Amino acid sequence: MKRFSKAALGGTFDLFHDGHKYFLESALRMADRLVIGLTTDEFASYHKSHPVEPYDLRMERLTRFLEERGALMRAEIVPLSDPYGPTAWDGSIEALIVTADNRERAGEINALRALRGLRALEAVEIPLKLGEDGVPISSARIRGGR
pTM of the entire predicted model: 0.91
Asked whether the beta carbons of 133 and 139 are under 8 A apart, the reply is no
Burial of 121 per CB tally in 10 Å (0-12, 13-18, 19+): buried
45-70 pLDDT per residue, tens: 877 667 889 999 999 999 999 999 99
pLDDT at res. 48: 63
Domains of the chain, first to last: 4-143 (3.40.50.620)
Asked whether the beta carbons of 24 and 73 are under 8 A apart, the reply is no
pLDDT (mean) for 8-18: 94
Answer whether residue 1 shows pLDDT above 70: no
Give the pairing type, strands 4-11 and 95-98: parallel
Sign of CA dihedral 115, 121, 124, 128: negative
68-117 pLDDT per residue, tens: 999 999 999 999 999 999 999 999 999 999 998 888 999 999 999 999 99
pLDDT at res. 132: 84
